[in-house]
Amino acid sequence: MAGSDHTAQRVAEAPDTVKILIAGGFGVGKTTMVGSVSEIIPLRTEERLTSAGLGVDDLDGIEDKNATTVALDFGRITISQELVLYLFGTPGQQRFWFMWNDLAVGALGAVVLVDVRRPKSSFAAIDFFERRNIPFVIGVNGFHGEHPYSPEEIREALALPEGTQVLLCDARERKSCRDVLIALIDQLIASAADNRA
Ligand X SMILES: Nc1nc2c(ncn2[C@@H]2O[C@H](COP(=O)(O)OP(=O)(O)O)[C@@H](O)[C@H]2O)c(=O)[nH]1
**Interface contacts to another protein, rule CB under 8 A:** 2-3, 9-19, 37, 43-48, 51, 53-60, 69, 72, 74, 76-80, 83-86, 88, 103, 105-106, 108, 135, 174-175, 178, 181-182, 185-186, 188-189, 191-193, 195-196
User: Which amino acid type is present at position 193?
Assistant: A
- Alpha-carbon 74 to chain mean position: 9
104 or 160, CB closer to Mg ion? 104
138 has which bridge partners? 112, 166
Q: What is the dihedral of CA 85, 173, 168, 83, to 10 degrees?
A: 10
The answer to the question of residue 141 lying near Mg ion (CB under 5 A) is no
> Taking CB within 5 to 8 Å according to partner kind, which of another protein, Mg ion, ligand X, none is near residue 15?
another protein
Given 20, 37, 38, 89, the residue binding ligand X (CB under 6 A) = 89
Q: x/- binding map, residues 17-36, to Mg ion, per CB under 5 A?
A: -------------xx-----
89 or 119, CB closer to another protein? 89
**CA end-to-end span of the chain:** 26
What lies within 8 Å, CB to CB, of 108 at 6+ separation is 18, 19, 20, 135, 184, 185, 188
Sign of CA dihedral 29, 31, 34, 36: negative
- Which residues make up the interface to ligand X (CB under 6 A)? 24, 26-32, 89, 92, 141, 143-144, 170-172
